[in-house]
């Protein structure tokens, strides 16, 4: 699946988008896999309560299932308006 990062999450991880091959069944599982990869992921995902996640461009929760997901995006709380 494609994993996208925005704002300071993108800056901490150092890229806007990557292709991730994963067997993770939930967003939380995917986050745990990413954290185990490298320190920059651990830094970005240190506090997931400060983050938001979207699956296929719809906001969801970190315990949401990933079955069928094509695109997962991680970002800080939004500051529109």
Smallest gap from Cβ 39 to other proteins, in A, equals: 21
Residue 13: CB minimum distance to other proteins, A: 14
- Interface residues with other proteins (CB under 8 A) are 4, 6-8, 10, 54, 57-59, 71, 73, 75-81
Question: Least distance from C-beta 10 to other proteins, angstroms?
Answer: 8
Q: Answer whether 74's CB lies under 8 Å from 8's CB.
A: no
Question: Do residues 12 and 40 make contact, with C-beta atoms less than 8 angstroms apart?
Answer: yes
Closer residue to other proteins, CB minimum distance, 9 or 32: 9
Residue at token pair 């719809």: 58
How many helices and strands in the chain, by DSSP H and E?
3, 5
């Amino acid at each position: 699946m494609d994993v996208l990062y925005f704002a300071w999450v993108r800056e901490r991880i150092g890229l806007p988008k990557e292709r991730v091959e994963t067997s993770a069944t939930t967003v939380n599982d995917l986050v745990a896999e990413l954290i185990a990869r490298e320190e920059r992921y651990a830094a970005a995902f240190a506090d997931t309560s400060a983050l938001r996640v979207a699956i296929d461009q719809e906001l969801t929760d970190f315990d949401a299932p990933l079955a069928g997901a094509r695109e997962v995006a991680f970002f800080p709380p939004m500051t529109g308006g």
